[in-house]
């Protein structure tokens, strides 16, 4: 076998061996730099998260809805206020996220209220930025003003939403 | 409006949890490289493609495929690098052993001392297959690494028996580290290192608080209490006894070093490292003064080239010359003279062949591959959620790292030579089988560690919602 062929093979083999090492290091790079920082509390504009990442994220809020048109609209509510019940005085800033209400520990507002269900109701903005309240099949029902909700209903500013002994309303 | 709360962030890992396809791609790569090396060595040695190339490639490929399929089924979230790197090292080892089998010098040497020169590569391929079989067995039978925790003290007894047993068998090559059964011999120390790691992690998991917290501060060091010092003294004494009765420097160094590393990891106290270093230094110097076999090794280490004048074993000198003549890029596979080392050229001294024929570049690549296995082990330990798994992963990777250091350092003349094998590469059945089992346990731990956390259990509210009765 000619000297040249052997030299080429020798150097080629070393190159392939090192290529393997480099590829291996590339594979573990994701472990070294593989943390992602997710902004919470504000509407995310990035690509939607993959499901397993959502599973890994601890204490992450429920999936947020992109709010395209309605933000900053005049007259839009900016906060949710609890006006009656054990949580009186609690406010939650409305930033396009879904707010869940109920006795379950992972609710946005955990109600300490014997008459509320684990997952009682949720409040979310629709595509136009209009806030909607929806009853999630609760035992005692959700009332907007005096009427018991049967379908997702838009919330007027200042209208009382009653869940058990708790009353909440949206304010500017 | 939204700027008020944007400083709250969530940090999570980005990589997808299962990297099985990455592993498959790396495995294909890891099978092709040794086949290339085989062709290269064959062309250089006999000017033609080696006859067994196809069957050899298929054999290695089959082993890799079986390993991969079992990992896919039984450890789907395991680390993607451990199996490919182990396969590559095992494959390269087979090529190097085959290459040394072709050496006329080694054949002549065996005949001159009245032995039959038998090629080792076919046996090594069988041992590799047994190793992969054990790998598969561990992955299938060990449902959860935490089961090993139950056998903490049993594994201590088993490890001690394995370490003591070779004393009752005749020494081979100056060291009593083999159990000989007829024509068959086992090196129990290789298996003992895994079992002892199980014992240490089980023991330290329970005792680490006592070891870490109950200590007095003295001259900037935390001195542990006497009763906590007990186990370290026992392990130290046992490793010294191994050294004295079995004249096996490597195993005692591995055994003691492993315990010190795990103590340090479990307690975060630097003082253990200082104590460990001091005690191993005292032990090593003491034994080196009294034990002639160890003394010889130290003399050969201090002046390797004296063997040419006084006539002794010139292995270390030959190994150093092999490294030297390899240079940066090496002489090429099959074109070196590392077979001048003679005895144990394809086991303890196989790194010298790598150094000569692949040069500094190849040696560094191989050492980096070992480093990557250790890194994956440490990474697994960081990611593991249970303390036992953490300690076991650290222990196994530390055992692996210490073994590579001890044998590579010995061959390169950095420390006195000890009888240990390069994991996966060196010829030797016990070593290759035990290291496949070690990698299997690491893969099992990494599977548990990288598995996405289970979804939080649905809230079971203690009280039922009261119904409003109008």
Per residue in A141-161, pLDDT (tens digit) is: 899 888 888 888 888 888 899
Q: How far is A160 from chain B (nearest CA, A)?
A: 19
Using a CB-CB cut-off of 8 Å, the residues of chain B touching A14 are 329-330, 358-359, 361-362, 365
User: In DSSP terms, which residues pair with B13 in a beta bridge?
Assistant: A35
- Higher-confidence residue of A61 and A4: namely A4
Inter-chain touch B372–A9, beta carbons under 8 Å: no
Do B12 and A57 make contact, defined as CB atoms within 8 angstroms?
yes
Is the pLDDT score of A68 beyond 90?
Answer: no
Question: In the structure encoding, which two tokens stand for residue B331, read together?
Answer: 């002489």
Mean of pLDDT values over B53-58? 85
B255 or A13: which carries more pLDDT confidence?
A: A13
- Check if B462 contacts A (Cβ < 8 Å): no
Contact A140 B468 (CB under 8 A): yes
Most confident of A126-135, B277-286, B389-398: B389-398
Share of chain B above pLDDT 90, in %: 29
Pick from B37, B331, B466: CB nearest A115 = B466
B81 contacts A40? CB cut-off 8 A = no
pLDDT of B3 over the 70 cut: no
Least confident of B328-342, B369-383, B437-451: B328-342
Find out whether B351 and B410 touch, Cβ atoms under 8 Å.
Answer: no
DSSP string, B191-214: HHHHHHHHHHHHHHHHHHHHHHHS
Reported as type and span, the H/E element at residue B181 is strand B179-181
CB atoms within 10 A of CB B221: 15
Greater model confidence, B339 or A140: A140
Is pLDDT above 60 for B48? yes
Query: Would you say residue A39 has pLDDT above 60?
Result: no
Q: What per-residue confidence (pLDDT) applies to B463?
A: 62
For residue A131, what is the enclosing H or E element? strand A131-135
Round the CA-based radius of gyration of chain B to a whole number and report it: 25
pLDDT of residue A45: 44
Contact B391, B385 (CB under 8 A): no
Candidate from B6, B332, B468 with C-beta closest to A39: B6
* Cα radius of gyration rounded to whole Å, chain A: 27
pLDDT in tens, B67-93: 999 999 999 889 899 999 999 999 999
Average confidence (pLDDT) over B430-450: 92
pLDDT the model gives residue B210:
76
ipTM reported for the complex surpasses 0.90? no
CB contact under 8 A, B329 and A10: yes
pLDDT at B215: 67
Nearest Cα neighbor of B173 from B412, B421, B354, B406 is B421
- CB burial of B194-207 (b: ≥16 within 10 Å; e: otherwise) equals bbbbbbbbbbbbee
**Is the pTM higher than 0.90?**
no
The whole-number average pLDDT for the span A5-30 is: 89
From the options 2.60.200.20, 1.10.3720.10, 3.40.50.300, 3.10.20.30, give the CATH code of A77-169. 2.60.200.20
Considering CB atoms only, which of B12, B368, B459 is closest to A21? B368
Which one of B15, B332, B333 has the shortest CB-CB distance to A30?
B15
Asked whether the predicted pLDDT for residue B232 surpasses 80, the reply is no
B15/A165 Cα distance (integer angstroms) = 45
CA pair distance A107, A119, nearest whole angstrom: 8
Residues of chain A contacting B13 with CB distance shorter than 8 Å: 31, 34-36, 56
Q: What share of chain A is helix, strand, coil (3-state, %, to 5)?
A: 20, 25, 50
Say if the Cβ atoms of A6 and B43 lie within 8 Å.
yes
């Amino acid at each position: 076998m000619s000297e040249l062929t052997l030299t080429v093979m020798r150097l080629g083999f070393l190159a392939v061996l090192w290529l393997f090492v480099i590829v291996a290091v590339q594979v573990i790079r994701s472990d070294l730099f593989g943390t992602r920082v997710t902004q919470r509390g504000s509407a995310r504009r990035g690509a939607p998260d993959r499901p397993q990442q959502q599973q890994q994220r601890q204490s992450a809020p429920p999936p947020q809805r992109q709010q395209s048109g309605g933000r900053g609209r005049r007259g839009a509510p900016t906060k949710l206020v609890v006006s009656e019940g054990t949580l009186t005085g609690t406010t939650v800033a409305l930033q396009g996220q879904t707010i869940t209400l109920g006795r379950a520990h992972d609710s946005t507002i955990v109600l300490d209220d014997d008459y509320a269900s684990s997952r009682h109701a949720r409040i979310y903005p629709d595509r136009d930025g209009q806030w909607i309240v929806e009853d999630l099949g609760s035992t005692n029902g959700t009332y907007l003003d005096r009427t018991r909700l049967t379908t997702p209903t838009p919330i007027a500013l200042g209208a009382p939403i009653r869940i058990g002994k708790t009353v909440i309303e949206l304010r500017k | 409006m939204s700027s008020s709360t944007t400083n709250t962030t969530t940090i999570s890992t980005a990589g997808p949890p299962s990297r099985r396809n990455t592993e498959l791609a790396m495995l294909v790569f890891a099978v092709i490289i040794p086949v290339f090396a085989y062709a290269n060595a064959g062309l250089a040695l006999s000017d033609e493609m080696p006859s067994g190339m196809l069957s050899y490639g298929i054999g290695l490929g089959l082993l890799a495929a079986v390993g991969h399929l079992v990992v896919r089924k039984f450890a789907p979230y395991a680390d993607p690098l451990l199996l490919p790197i182990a396969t590559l090292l095992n494959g390269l080892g087979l090529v190097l052993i085959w290459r040394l089998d072709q050496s006329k010098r080694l054949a002549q040497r065996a005949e001159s001392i009245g032995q039959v020169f038998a090629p080792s590569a076919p046996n090594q391929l069988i041992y590799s297959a047994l190793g992969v079989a054990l790998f598969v067995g561990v992955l299938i039978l060990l449902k959860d690494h935490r089961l090993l925790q139950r056998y903490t003290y049993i594994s201590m007894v088993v490890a001690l028996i394995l370490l003591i047993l070779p004393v009752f068998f005749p020494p081979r090559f100056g060291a009593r580290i083999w159990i000989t059964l007829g024509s068959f011999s086992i090196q129990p120390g290789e298996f003992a290192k895994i079992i002892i790691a199980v014992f240490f992690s089980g023991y330290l998991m329970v005792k680490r608080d006592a070891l870490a917290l109950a200590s007095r501060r003295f001259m900037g060091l935390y001195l542990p209490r006497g009763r906590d010092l007990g186990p370290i003294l026992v392990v130290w004494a046992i490793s010294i006894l191994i050294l004295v009765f079995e004249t096996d420097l490597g195993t005692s160094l591995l055994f003691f070093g492993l315990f010190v590393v795990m103590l340090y990891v479990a307690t975060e106290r630097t003082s253990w490292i200082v104590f460990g270093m001091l005690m191993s230094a005292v032990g090593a110097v003491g034994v080196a003064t009294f034990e002639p076999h160890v003394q010889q090794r130290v003399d050969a280490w201090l002046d390797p080239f004296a063997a040419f004048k006084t006539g002794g074993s010139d292995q270390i000198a030959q190994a150093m010359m092999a490294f030297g003549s390899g240079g940066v890029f090496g002489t090429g596979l099959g074109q070196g003279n590392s077979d001048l080392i003679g005895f144990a050229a394809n086991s303890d001294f196989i790194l010298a062949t790598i150094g000569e024929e692949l040069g500094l570049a190849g040696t560094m690549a191989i050492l980096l591959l070992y480093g990557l296995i250790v890194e994956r082990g440490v990474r697994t330990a960081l990611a593991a959620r249970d303390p036992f798994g953490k300690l076991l992963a650290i222990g196994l990777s530390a055992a692996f790292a210490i073994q590579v250091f001890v044998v590579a350092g010995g061959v390169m003349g950095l420390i006195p030579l000890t009888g240990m094998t390069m994991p996966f590469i060196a010829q030797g059945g016990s070593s290759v089988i035990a290291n496949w089992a070690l990698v299997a346990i690491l893969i099992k731990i990494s599977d548990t560690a990288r598995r996405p956390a289970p979804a939080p259990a649905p809230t079971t509210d203690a009280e039922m919602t009261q119904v409003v009765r109008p």
